[in-house]
Amino acid sequence: MDQTHVAGEIEADQVLLTEKQVLDRLGEMAAQIEADYEGKDLLLVGVLKGAVMVMADLARSLNRHVEMDWMAVSSYGSGTKSSGVVRILKDLDTDIKDRHVLVVEDIIDTGLTLSWLITNLKSRGPASVEIATLLRKPEAVTMDVDVTYVGFDIPNAFVVGYGLDYDEKYRNLRCIGTLSPHVYS
């Protein structure tokens, strides 16, 4: 689905990143990840549901073997702001003790959920835990989180597409755009 399918909900001037821009940047991030993890066994941990598109395209951009696992954590519900309360909805199937773990996120907003998740993962004894995110909102961050790989810094607006949703819609939008307020007001 592209922005023509959601005309009036995401205007052309509200498209922040095209699919090509996203794919190009994920390719650049993959090259850096390959260099940084050369000779190391790497486990990608995607954070469901938003990171599905990012994880798939990042993994396909890597020219090496990687394992993948998934976690689902929630702090949003159907609203547009983080609740700050984190729940594990699906835990890892893989034991991460002594493993090099790269957490793959779609977006870092306040950083509260991710901070909690990283603390949780580090308590399991991995060799390392690093973070890769497609998007980060520097103006919204309230919890300092050390992010190793950042695709793009974006304004503090409610964005959808490329895995990001509003009320489970817009995840399959190929671009990333700002959702018009009339949709969620």
Classify the phi-psi angles of 76: left when phi > 0, otherwise alpha if psi is within -120 to 50, otherwise beta.
alpha
* Pairwise CA distance, residues 178 & 161, whole Å: 9
For residue 172, what are its two tokens? Answer: 């399959």
Instruction: Please tell me which residue in 24, 109, 165, 167 is annotated as part of the active site.
Output: 109
User: β-strands 87-90, 159-160: how paired?
Assistant: unpaired
Q: Is 167 assigned a catalytic role? A: no
For residue 109, what are its two tokens? Answer: 């907003």
User: β-strands 149-153, 128-136: how paired?
Assistant: parallel
For residue 3, what are its two tokens? Answer: 């922005």
Q: Which residues are known to be catalytic?
A: 109
